[in-house]
Structure 1
Protein backbone atom coordinates (compact mmCIF):
# COMPACT_ATOMS: atom_id res chain seq x y z
CA UNK A 1 0.00 0.00 0.00
CA UNK A 2 2.85 2.35 0.81
CA UNK A 3 4.44 1.85 -2.61
CA UNK A 4 1.12 2.48 -4.35
CA UNK A 5 0.59 5.72 -2.42
CA UNK A 6 4.18 6.78 -3.19
CA UNK A 7 3.65 6.24 -6.91
CA UNK A 8 0.29 8.02 -6.93
CA UNK A 9 1.56 11.10 -5.12
CA UNK A 10 4.66 11.19 -7.31
CA UNK A 11 2.46 11.04 -10.41
CA UNK A 12 0.24 13.79 -8.98
CA UNK A 13 3.28 16.03 -8.61
CA UNK A 14 4.26 15.36 -12.22
CA UNK A 15 0.72 16.23 -13.33
CA UNK A 16 1.01 19.61 -11.58
CA UNK A 17 4.36 20.26 -13.27
CA UNK A 18 3.00 19.27 -16.69
CA UNK A 19 -0.09 21.45 -16.33
CA UNK A 20 2.07 24.36 -15.18
CA UNK A 21 4.39 23.98 -18.17
CA UNK A 22 1.54 23.61 -20.64
CA UNK A 23 -0.21 26.67 -19.23
CA UNK A 24 3.02 28.65 -19.31
CA UNK A 25 3.75 27.82 -22.96
CA UNK A 26 0.11 28.10 -24.00
CA UNK A 27 -1.58 24.95 -25.23
CA UNK A 28 -3.03 26.81 -28.23
CA UNK A 29 0.46 27.82 -29.41
CA UNK A 30 2.11 24.40 -29.43
CA UNK A 31 1.30 23.56 -33.06
CA UNK A 32 2.96 26.83 -34.15
CA UNK A 33 6.20 26.17 -32.29
CA UNK A 34 9.36 24.74 -33.82
CA UNK A 35 10.26 21.13 -33.25
CA UNK A 36 12.04 20.73 -29.87
CA UNK A 37 15.30 19.32 -31.19
CA UNK A 38 17.21 19.80 -27.94
CA UNK A 39 14.53 17.89 -26.04
CA UNK A 40 14.56 15.19 -28.71
CA UNK A 41 18.33 14.86 -28.38
CA UNK A 42 18.14 14.64 -24.60
CA UNK A 43 15.47 11.96 -24.84
CA UNK A 44 17.54 10.08 -27.41
CA UNK A 45 20.46 9.95 -24.97
CA UNK A 46 18.13 8.53 -22.31
CA UNK A 47 16.81 5.94 -24.76
CA UNK A 48 20.40 5.02 -25.67
CA UNK A 49 21.05 4.48 -21.97
CA UNK A 50 18.14 2.04 -21.77
CA UNK A 51 19.33 0.19 -24.87
CA UNK A 52 22.79 -0.06 -23.32
CA UNK A 53 21.28 -1.60 -20.20
CA UNK A 54 19.33 -4.12 -22.28
CA UNK A 55 22.42 -5.12 -24.24
CA UNK A 56 24.95 -5.11 -21.39
CA UNK A 57 24.25 -6.54 -17.97
CA UNK A 58 27.08 -4.55 -16.39
CA UNK A 59 25.81 -1.14 -17.51
CA UNK A 60 24.03 -0.17 -14.29
CA UNK A 61 27.05 -1.11 -12.15
CA UNK A 62 29.34 0.89 -14.41
CA UNK A 63 27.26 4.02 -14.83
CA UNK A 64 25.08 4.44 -11.73
CA UNK A 65 25.97 6.89 -8.96
CA UNK A 66 26.79 4.38 -6.25
CA UNK A 67 29.19 6.24 -3.91
CA UNK A 68 30.81 2.92 -2.97
CA UNK A 69 32.23 2.62 -6.48
CA UNK A 70 34.85 4.88 -8.11
CA UNK A 71 34.18 6.90 -11.28
CA UNK A 72 33.92 10.65 -11.77
CA UNK A 73 31.42 10.15 -14.58
CA UNK A 74 28.75 8.52 -12.44
CA UNK A 75 27.04 11.73 -11.37
CA UNK A 76 26.20 12.38 -15.05
CA UNK A 77 25.73 8.91 -16.52
CA UNK A 78 23.50 7.77 -13.65
CA UNK A 79 20.82 10.19 -14.89
CA UNK A 80 20.54 8.21 -18.11
CA UNK A 81 20.33 4.80 -16.42
CA UNK A 82 16.93 3.48 -15.31
CA UNK A 83 16.23 1.02 -12.51
CA UNK A 84 12.49 1.45 -12.02
CA UNK A 85 11.48 -1.61 -14.02
CA UNK A 86 9.70 -1.58 -17.41
CA UNK A 87 6.80 0.64 -16.28
CA UNK A 88 9.06 3.08 -14.47
CA UNK A 89 11.41 3.26 -17.46
CA UNK A 90 8.64 4.05 -19.93
CA UNK A 91 7.22 6.64 -17.52
CA UNK A 92 10.62 8.29 -17.14
CA UNK A 93 11.23 8.47 -20.89
CA UNK A 94 7.79 9.86 -21.72
CA UNK A 95 7.82 12.47 -18.97
CA UNK A 96 11.38 13.49 -19.89
CA UNK A 97 10.41 14.03 -23.53
CA UNK A 98 7.29 16.05 -22.69
CA UNK A 99 8.76 18.22 -19.92
CA UNK A 100 11.98 18.86 -21.86
CA UNK A 101 9.94 19.97 -24.89
CA UNK A 102 7.87 22.40 -22.81
CA UNK A 103 11.03 23.70 -21.15
CA UNK A 104 12.77 24.16 -24.51
CA UNK A 105 9.84 26.13 -25.90
CA UNK A 106 9.87 28.44 -22.90
CA UNK A 107 13.54 28.72 -21.87
CA UNK A 108 15.16 27.96 -25.21
CA UNK A 109 17.25 24.89 -25.99
CA UNK A 110 20.63 25.86 -24.48
CA UNK A 111 19.14 27.20 -21.25
CA UNK A 112 16.91 24.15 -20.93
CA UNK A 113 20.00 21.92 -21.07
CA UNK A 114 21.74 24.07 -18.46
CA UNK A 115 18.76 23.79 -16.13
CA UNK A 116 18.65 20.03 -16.70
CA UNK A 117 22.34 19.88 -15.83
CA UNK A 118 21.56 21.93 -12.73
CA UNK A 119 19.73 18.95 -11.24
CA UNK A 120 22.76 16.77 -11.79
CA UNK A 121 25.13 18.95 -9.80
CA UNK A 122 23.16 21.28 -7.52
CA UNK A 123 21.09 18.98 -5.25
CA UNK A 124 24.09 17.23 -3.73
CA UNK A 125 25.65 20.62 -2.93
CA UNK A 126 22.44 21.93 -1.37
CA UNK A 127 21.94 18.66 0.53
CA UNK A 128 25.36 19.04 2.09
CA UNK A 129 24.68 22.68 3.04
CA UNK A 130 21.30 21.79 4.60
CA UNK A 131 22.64 18.70 6.33
CA UNK A 132 20.32 16.25 4.56
CA UNK A 133 22.98 14.54 2.46
CA UNK A 134 22.72 11.35 4.48
CA UNK A 135 19.06 11.01 3.47
CA UNK A 136 19.79 11.67 -0.19
CA UNK A 137 17.50 13.12 -2.82
CA UNK A 138 17.79 10.55 -5.59
CA UNK A 139 14.47 8.65 -5.74
CA UNK A 140 15.88 5.92 -7.97
CA UNK A 141 18.65 4.57 -5.78
CA UNK A 142 21.41 6.45 -7.60
CA UNK A 143 20.03 5.92 -11.10
CA UNK A 144 17.22 7.43 -13.17
CA UNK A 145 16.17 10.52 -15.10
CA UNK A 146 13.06 11.22 -13.03
CA UNK A 147 14.81 13.55 -10.59
CA UNK A 148 16.12 15.75 -13.41
CA UNK A 149 12.71 15.75 -15.08
CA UNK A 150 10.91 16.87 -11.91
CA UNK A 151 13.58 19.51 -11.34
CA UNK A 152 13.19 20.83 -14.89
CA UNK A 153 9.41 20.80 -14.69
CA UNK A 154 9.51 22.79 -11.47
CA UNK A 155 11.46 25.58 -13.18
CA UNK A 156 8.41 26.04 -15.42
CA UNK A 157 6.08 26.20 -12.43
CA UNK A 158 8.25 28.96 -10.94
CA UNK A 159 8.15 30.96 -14.16
CA UNK A 160 4.37 30.56 -14.34
CA UNK A 161 3.98 31.88 -10.80
CA UNK A 162 6.07 34.95 -11.58
CA UNK A 163 4.68 35.70 -15.05
CA UNK A 164 0.99 34.97 -14.76
CA UNK A 165 -1.58 37.50 -13.59
CA UNK A 166 -4.33 34.88 -13.31
CA UNK A 167 -5.03 33.74 -9.75
CA UNK A 168 -5.85 30.15 -10.74
CA UNK A 169 -2.61 29.83 -12.69
CA UNK A 170 -0.61 31.20 -9.77
CA UNK A 171 -2.24 28.69 -7.42
CA UNK A 172 -1.48 25.88 -9.88
CA UNK A 173 2.16 26.92 -10.01
CA UNK A 174 2.47 27.34 -6.24
CA UNK A 175 0.90 23.93 -5.62
CA UNK A 176 3.92 22.22 -7.19
CA UNK A 177 6.60 23.17 -4.62
CA UNK A 178 4.08 22.91 -1.76
CA UNK A 179 3.18 19.35 -2.72
CA UNK A 180 6.84 18.59 -3.40
CA UNK A 181 7.95 19.64 0.07
CA UNK A 182 5.00 17.79 1.62
CA UNK A 183 6.05 14.59 -0.16
CA UNK A 184 9.61 15.05 1.05
CA UNK A 185 8.66 15.56 4.69
CA UNK A 186 5.93 12.91 4.82
CA UNK A 187 7.32 10.23 2.50
CA UNK A 188 11.02 11.06 2.17
CA UNK A 189 10.12 11.31 -1.53
CA UNK A 190 13.14 12.72 -3.30
CA UNK A 191 11.08 13.80 -6.30
CA UNK A 192 9.47 16.39 -4.09
CA UNK A 193 12.73 17.81 -2.79
CA UNK A 194 14.37 18.16 -6.20
CA UNK A 195 11.16 19.78 -7.45
CA UNK A 196 11.50 22.38 -4.69
CA UNK A 197 15.14 22.96 -5.70
CA UNK A 198 14.11 23.33 -9.35
CA UNK A 199 11.37 25.77 -8.43
CA UNK A 200 13.85 27.95 -6.55
CA UNK A 201 16.36 27.90 -9.42
CA UNK A 202 13.68 28.58 -12.01
CA UNK A 203 12.52 31.62 -10.06
CA UNK A 204 16.06 32.96 -9.81
CA UNK A 205 16.78 32.39 -13.51
CA UNK A 206 13.57 34.11 -14.60
CA UNK A 207 14.09 37.09 -12.30
CA UNK A 208 17.69 37.49 -13.44
CA UNK A 209 17.17 36.96 -17.16
CA UNK A 210 13.55 37.77 -17.97
CA UNK A 211 14.58 40.60 -20.28
CA UNK A 212 16.70 38.21 -22.35
CA UNK A 213 14.41 35.17 -22.33
CA UNK A 214 11.85 35.26 -25.14
CA UNK A 215 9.25 32.48 -24.74
CA UNK A 216 7.33 33.76 -27.78
CA UNK A 217 10.26 33.72 -30.22
CA UNK A 218 8.67 30.89 -32.24
CA UNK A 219 5.43 32.84 -32.61
CA UNK A 220 7.06 35.96 -34.03
CA UNK A 221 8.03 34.23 -37.27
CA UNK A 222 7.25 31.02 -39.11
CA UNK A 223 9.70 28.19 -38.30
CA UNK A 224 10.44 25.91 -41.23
CA UNK A 225 9.31 22.88 -39.30
CA UNK A 226 6.63 23.26 -36.63
CA UNK A 227 4.76 20.74 -34.50
CA UNK A 228 1.67 21.50 -36.56
CA UNK A 229 3.38 20.89 -39.91
CA UNK A 230 4.68 17.52 -38.75
CA UNK A 231 1.25 16.51 -37.46
CA UNK A 232 -0.20 17.51 -40.83
CA UNK A 233 2.28 15.27 -42.64
CA UNK A 234 1.38 12.37 -40.37
CA UNK A 235 -2.36 12.85 -40.90
CA UNK A 236 -2.16 13.42 -44.66
CA UNK A 237 -1.27 9.85 -45.74
CA UNK A 238 -4.06 8.46 -43.56
CA UNK A 239 -6.57 10.85 -45.11
CA UNK A 240 -5.45 9.96 -48.64
CA UNK A 241 -5.55 6.22 -47.85
CA UNK A 242 -9.09 6.46 -46.49
CA UNK A 243 -10.12 8.43 -49.59
Structure 2
Protein backbone atom coordinates (compact mmCIF):
# COMPACT_ATOMS: atom_id res chain seq x y z
CA UNK A 1 0.00 0.00 0.00
CA UNK A 2 1.40 3.36 -1.03
CA UNK A 3 1.12 6.96 0.18
CA UNK A 4 1.82 8.37 -3.28
CA UNK A 5 -1.71 7.73 -4.47
CA UNK A 6 -3.17 5.90 -7.44
CA UNK A 7 -3.07 8.74 -9.94
CA UNK A 8 -6.29 10.35 -11.07
CA UNK A 9 -8.41 7.75 -9.25
CA UNK A 10 -7.01 8.81 -5.88
CA UNK A 11 -7.34 12.48 -6.83
CA UNK A 12 -11.04 12.05 -7.63
CA UNK A 13 -11.65 10.13 -4.40
CA UNK A 14 -9.83 12.81 -2.38
CA UNK A 15 -12.13 15.44 -3.88
CA UNK A 16 -15.18 13.34 -3.02
CA UNK A 17 -14.11 13.16 0.63
CA UNK A 18 -13.51 16.91 0.78
CA UNK A 19 -16.81 17.80 -0.91
CA UNK A 20 -18.84 15.50 1.35
CA UNK A 21 -17.01 16.76 4.44
CA UNK A 22 -17.68 20.35 3.37
CA UNK A 23 -21.39 19.55 3.04
CA UNK A 24 -21.49 18.03 6.51
CA UNK A 25 -19.46 20.87 8.01
CA UNK A 26 -21.64 23.54 6.43
CA UNK A 27 -24.79 21.90 7.77
CA UNK A 28 -23.27 21.45 11.24
CA UNK A 29 -22.33 25.09 11.63
CA UNK A 30 -25.66 26.30 10.34
CA UNK A 31 -24.83 27.21 6.76
CA UNK A 32 -27.09 26.14 3.97
CA UNK A 33 -24.66 25.72 1.09
CA UNK A 34 -21.38 23.92 0.60
CA UNK A 35 -18.44 26.15 1.35
CA UNK A 36 -20.36 29.21 2.47
CA UNK A 37 -18.69 29.15 5.89
CA UNK A 38 -15.24 29.07 4.34
CA UNK A 39 -15.33 32.75 3.36
CA UNK A 40 -15.57 34.10 6.91
CA UNK A 41 -12.46 35.00 8.88
CA UNK A 42 -10.66 31.75 9.81
CA UNK A 43 -10.50 30.86 13.52
CA UNK A 44 -7.19 31.64 15.21
CA UNK A 45 -6.57 28.00 16.08
CA UNK A 46 -6.88 27.04 12.42
CA UNK A 47 -4.48 29.79 11.39
CA UNK A 48 -1.88 28.64 13.94
CA UNK A 49 -2.25 25.01 12.85
CA UNK A 50 -1.83 26.00 9.21
CA UNK A 51 1.27 28.07 9.95
CA UNK A 52 2.88 25.21 11.90
CA UNK A 53 2.62 23.10 8.76
CA UNK A 54 3.17 25.81 6.16
CA UNK A 55 6.36 27.40 7.51
CA UNK A 56 8.59 24.27 7.43
CA UNK A 57 6.88 23.07 4.25
CA UNK A 58 7.76 26.28 2.43
CA UNK A 59 11.19 26.48 4.05
CA UNK A 60 12.12 23.08 2.65
CA UNK A 61 11.80 24.48 -0.87
CA UNK A 62 14.89 26.63 -0.30
CA UNK A 63 16.49 24.41 2.39
CA UNK A 64 16.04 20.77 1.28
CA UNK A 65 17.78 19.57 4.44
CA UNK A 66 14.57 20.34 6.33
CA UNK A 67 12.79 17.56 4.41
CA UNK A 68 15.65 15.14 5.04
CA UNK A 69 15.54 15.86 8.78
CA UNK A 70 11.78 15.56 9.25
CA UNK A 71 10.41 13.14 6.65
CA UNK A 72 9.05 9.69 7.45
CA UNK A 73 11.71 7.05 6.86
CA UNK A 74 10.74 3.59 8.16
CA UNK A 75 14.36 2.49 8.44
CA UNK A 76 15.36 5.52 10.51
CA UNK A 77 12.19 5.29 12.58
CA UNK A 78 13.08 1.71 13.47
CA UNK A 79 16.52 3.08 14.33
CA UNK A 80 14.93 5.07 17.18
CA UNK A 81 14.15 8.28 15.27
CA UNK A 82 10.53 8.13 16.44
CA UNK A 83 9.89 11.83 15.98
CA UNK A 84 9.68 11.33 12.22
CA UNK A 85 6.24 9.72 12.65
CA UNK A 86 4.95 13.11 13.73
CA UNK A 87 7.32 15.63 12.12
CA UNK A 88 6.71 14.24 8.63
CA UNK A 89 3.39 16.08 8.66
CA UNK A 90 5.22 19.42 8.56
CA UNK A 91 7.14 18.80 5.32
CA UNK A 92 6.04 17.70 1.87
CA UNK A 93 7.39 15.12 -0.58
CA UNK A 94 5.35 16.19 -3.61
CA UNK A 95 7.51 19.05 -4.82
CA UNK A 96 6.26 22.61 -5.14
CA UNK A 97 2.94 21.60 -6.72
CA UNK A 98 2.23 18.99 -4.05
CA UNK A 99 3.15 21.44 -1.31
CA UNK A 100 0.80 24.10 -2.65
CA UNK A 101 -2.09 21.64 -3.00
CA UNK A 102 -1.63 20.19 0.48
CA UNK A 103 -1.46 23.61 2.09
CA UNK A 104 -4.51 24.86 0.19
CA UNK A 105 -6.54 21.81 1.25
CA UNK A 106 -5.46 22.27 4.87
CA UNK A 107 -6.40 25.95 4.63
CA UNK A 108 -9.90 24.82 3.68
CA UNK A 109 -10.35 21.91 6.09
CA UNK A 110 -8.77 23.35 9.26
CA UNK A 111 -11.13 26.36 9.70
CA UNK A 112 -14.16 24.19 9.03
CA UNK A 113 -12.96 21.55 11.49
CA UNK A 114 -12.33 24.14 14.21
CA UNK A 115 -15.83 25.54 13.75
CA UNK A 116 -17.38 22.08 13.86
CA UNK A 117 -15.32 20.57 16.69
CA UNK A 118 -13.89 23.53 18.54
CA UNK A 119 -10.19 24.34 18.59
CA UNK A 120 -8.86 21.81 21.10
CA UNK A 121 -10.79 18.87 19.66
CA UNK A 122 -9.82 19.72 16.08
CA UNK A 123 -6.12 19.88 16.97
CA UNK A 124 -6.31 16.63 18.94
CA UNK A 125 -7.96 14.92 15.99
CA UNK A 126 -5.30 16.22 13.61
CA UNK A 127 -2.43 15.12 15.86
CA UNK A 128 -3.94 11.71 16.65
CA UNK A 129 -4.67 11.10 12.98
CA UNK A 130 -1.10 11.92 12.00
CA UNK A 131 0.36 9.63 14.65
CA UNK A 132 -1.87 6.72 13.63
CA UNK A 133 -1.26 7.32 9.91
CA UNK A 134 2.48 7.59 10.60
CA UNK A 135 2.47 4.28 12.49
CA UNK A 136 0.56 2.59 9.67
CA UNK A 137 2.96 3.85 7.00
CA UNK A 138 6.09 3.22 9.07
CA UNK A 139 5.35 -0.29 10.29
CA UNK A 140 2.22 -1.87 8.79
CA UNK A 141 2.77 -0.67 5.21
CA UNK A 142 6.31 0.78 5.28
CA UNK A 143 6.51 3.76 2.96
CA UNK A 144 8.96 6.67 3.09
CA UNK A 145 7.53 10.10 2.53
CA UNK A 146 6.08 13.23 4.04
CA UNK A 147 3.05 15.49 3.89
CA UNK A 148 -0.08 16.55 5.71
CA UNK A 149 -2.54 14.94 3.30
CA UNK A 150 -3.24 11.93 5.52
CA UNK A 151 -3.93 13.96 8.65
CA UNK A 152 -5.97 16.51 6.69
CA UNK A 153 -8.16 13.87 5.06
CA UNK A 154 -8.64 12.20 8.45
CA UNK A 155 -9.67 15.52 9.98
CA UNK A 156 -12.22 16.02 7.21
CA UNK A 157 -13.47 12.44 7.57
CA UNK A 158 -13.97 12.93 11.31
CA UNK A 159 -17.17 14.79 10.45
CA UNK A 160 -18.59 11.47 9.25
CA UNK A 161 -18.10 9.89 12.66
CA UNK A 162 -19.55 12.93 14.40
CA UNK A 163 -22.83 13.00 12.51
CA UNK A 164 -23.33 9.24 12.78
CA UNK A 165 -23.31 9.63 16.56
CA UNK A 166 -25.31 12.86 16.76
CA UNK A 167 -27.46 13.51 13.70
CA UNK A 168 -30.68 12.16 12.24
CA UNK A 169 -30.43 14.37 9.14
CA UNK A 170 -30.60 12.01 6.18
CA UNK A 171 -28.56 14.37 4.05
CA UNK A 172 -25.53 14.41 6.34
CA UNK A 173 -25.88 10.69 7.16
CA UNK A 174 -25.75 9.93 3.44
CA UNK A 175 -22.68 12.14 3.11
CA UNK A 176 -21.13 10.32 6.08
CA UNK A 177 -21.71 6.98 4.39
CA UNK A 178 -20.18 8.36 1.22
CA UNK A 179 -17.02 9.35 3.07
CA UNK A 180 -16.63 5.89 4.60
CA UNK A 181 -17.28 4.23 1.22
CA UNK A 182 -14.67 6.48 -0.39
CA UNK A 183 -12.17 5.48 2.28
CA UNK A 184 -12.82 1.82 1.49
CA UNK A 185 -12.37 2.49 -2.24
CA UNK A 186 -9.03 4.16 -1.57
CA UNK A 187 -7.90 1.07 0.31
CA UNK A 188 -9.08 -1.11 -2.59
CA UNK A 189 -6.93 0.88 -5.05
CA UNK A 190 -3.97 0.38 -2.68
CA UNK A 191 -3.84 3.98 -1.47
CA UNK A 192 -2.91 4.29 2.21
CA UNK A 193 -4.91 7.51 2.42
CA UNK A 194 -7.95 5.27 2.64
CA UNK A 195 -6.69 4.18 6.05
CA UNK A 196 -6.47 7.85 7.02
CA UNK A 197 -10.08 8.46 5.97
CA UNK A 198 -11.37 5.44 7.87
CA UNK A 199 -9.24 6.34 10.90
CA UNK A 200 -10.64 9.87 10.88
CA UNK A 201 -14.22 8.60 10.78
CA UNK A 202 -13.58 6.25 13.70
CA UNK A 203 -11.82 8.96 15.73
CA UNK A 204 -14.68 11.34 15.04
CA UNK A 205 -17.23 8.81 16.28
CA UNK A 206 -15.16 8.10 19.39
CA UNK A 207 -14.67 11.77 20.22
CA UNK A 208 -18.34 12.52 19.61
CA UNK A 209 -19.13 9.83 22.17
CA UNK A 210 -16.73 10.83 24.95
CA UNK A 211 -16.50 14.60 24.37
CA UNK A 212 -19.08 15.90 21.89
CA UNK A 213 -18.84 19.51 20.68
CA UNK A 214 -20.93 21.68 23.02
CA UNK A 215 -23.77 23.94 22.05
CA UNK A 216 -26.00 24.27 19.03
CA UNK A 217 -24.45 24.34 15.54
CA UNK A 218 -24.41 28.19 15.37
CA UNK A 219 -22.42 28.26 18.62
CA UNK A 220 -19.77 26.00 17.14
CA UNK A 221 -19.34 28.37 14.23
CA UNK A 222 -17.91 30.88 16.70
CA UNK A 223 -15.37 28.47 18.22
CA UNK A 224 -11.76 29.63 18.40
TM-score (normalised: structure 1) = 0.76
Residue aligning to 1:196: 198
Structure 1 CA distance for aligned equivalents of residues 204 and 99 of structure 2 = 26
Give how far 1:35 is off. 4.1
1:4 is aligned to 2:4? no
Asked if the contact 1:33–1:105 (Cα under 8 Å) also holds between the matched residues in 2, the reply is: no
Give how far 1:189 is off. 1.2
Structure 1 residues 114, 61: closer, same or farther in 2, change over 3 A? same
TM-score (normalised: structure 2) = 0.82
1:114 is aligned to 2:155? no
Taking only aligned residues, the RMSD between alpha carbons, in angstroms, comes to 2.8
For these two proteins, the number of residue pairs brought into alignment is 211
Local SS of the residue matching 2:146: coil
Structure 2 CA distance for aligned equivalents of residues 96 and 60 of structure 1 = 19
1:158 is aligned to 2:161? yes
Give how far 1:88 is off. 2.0
Structure 1 residues 111, 172: closer, same or farther in 2, change over 3 A? same
Give how far 1:33 is off. 7.3
Structure 2 CA distance for aligned equivalents of residues 3 and 62 of structure 1 = 27
Structure 1 residues 175, 72: closer, same or farther in 2, change over 3 A? same
Residue aligning to 2:175: 172
Deviations 1:167-195 (A, max 9, x none): 1221111110111112102x111221111
Give how far 1:123 is off. 3.8
Structure 1 CA distance for aligned equivalents of residues 163 and 64 of structure 2 = 42
Local SS of the residue matching 1:9: helix
Asked if the contact 2:61–2:96 (Cα under 8 Å) also holds between the matched residues in 1, the reply is: no
Residue aligning to 1:135: 141
Q: For the pair shown, which has the larger CA radius of gyration, 1 or 2?
A: 1
For structure 2, the residue ranges without an aligned partner over 5 or more in a row are: 1-5
Residue aligning to 2:3: none
Residue aligning to 2:207: 205
Residue aligning to 1:237: none
Asked if the contact 2:116–2:220 (Cα under 8 Å) also holds between the matched residues in 1, the reply is: no
